[in-house]
A and B are shown apart, each in its own frame.
Chain A
C-alpha cells in the first residue's frame, strides 16, 4: 500500500525566504506526482504535475523535483510571499487509472 508523508507538517517563515517542502512515498513505481495548494475552506489548486519520466517541473517561483529511486519529491518556493500562505499537498498516482494518494500536507505561513 502506497504511503505518502510530508515533512514538515507546519512551517512559518518571514517573507522573502526561499523554502523547501518535502514529500516521500513508499512505492517508487509511481505513474506521476502532483503538487497542490489548498487555501482554508477551499478546494485544491493544481500547482505542478511531474510524470514518472521527468525529474523536475517549474512554474514561476515554484520548482518541483522528483527522485523516484529514493521515493522523494521536493517543492521549492523562491522568494516567498504572504500570499503563498496555504496548505501544500503532494499526491502520487501508481498507474494511469489509479487514484491519487495524498500526503498529510504542509501548512505554510509566510509572515510579512
Chain B
C-alpha cells in the first residue's frame, strides 16, 4: 500500500535551533501534503496544507514565519521550525494525498520534537 515516510522520528535540540522535518510519499505522487501537530492525549491539529509548487495555506493561529513549509516536488514536503523554543516541543505528523479524490489520506509516523 501507499507509504509516507517522515524523517527524523525524534529530535532533541537546544532552544534557538532551526529544525527541518522531511515528509516523502514513497509510491505515489502527493499533490497535497498536510502538516499536523499533536499534543499528548489530544487529537491532531492541522497546521497547514500545501500543494506542490505553490505556497502553503496556514490555519488560523499558525505562524507562517515560524513554521516554514516547502512542497517543491510531488514526493517531498519539508517543515522547518525556525528558532525553536520549548513551547514548540510537540509531535508533528505529515500526511499526503494523491490526485485521485476518493483515495485515502496517508500519514507518516510522526516526528517527536523536544526543545531544551
A interface residues, Cβ below 8 angstroms from B: 31-32, 34, 36, 41-46, 49, 51, 89, 91, 93, 96-97, 99-100, 102-105, 107
Tell me the minimal C-beta distance from A23 to chain B in angstroms: 12
Q: Can you list 18 A-B contacts with CB-CB less than 8 angstroms, sorted by A residue number?
A: A42-B109, A43-B4, A43-B93, A43-B107, A43-B108, A43-B110, A45-B107, A46-B105, A46-B107, A49-B102, A51-B102, A89-B44, A99-B34, A99-B49, A100-B46, A100-B95, A102-B43, A107-B41
What 10 new A-B contacts, CB under 8 Å, besides A49-B103, A97-B101?
A36-B107, A41-B112, A42-B110, A43-B4, A46-B105, A49-B102, A96-B101, A97-B32, A99-B34, A107-B41
B interface list, Cβ under 8 A from A? 4, 6, 32, 34, 41-44, 46, 49, 91, 93, 95, 101-110, 112
Contact, CB under 8 Å: B101 / A34: no
B91: chain A residues at CB < 8 Å are 41
The answer to whether A44 touches B46 (Cβ under 8 A) is no
Determine which of A34, A89, A97, A105 lies in contact with B104 in the assembled complex, contact meaning CB atoms within 8 Å.
A34
List the B residue with the shortest CB-CB distance to A103.
B43
Which one, A34, A41, A51, A105, contacts B105 given CB within 8 A? Answer: A34
CA distance A89 to B93 in the complex (A): 14
A66 CB → nearest B CB, Å: 14
Q: Describe B's contact surface by its main secondary structure.
A: strand
Q: Closest residue to B4 on the A side, CB-wise?
A: A43
| A41 with B110: CB separation less than 8 A | yes
Residues of A within 8 A of B104 (CB): 34, 46, 49
Contact B43 A105 (CB under 8 A): yes
Nearest to B92 among chain A residues (CB) is A43
Give Cα A45 to B107, complex, Å: 7
The CA-CA distance from A93 to B42 in the complex, in Å, is 20
| A97 surroundings in chain B (CB, below 8 A) | 32, 101
List residues of chain A with CB within 8 A of the CB of B6.
Answer: 43
Residue of A nearest to B31 (CB): A97
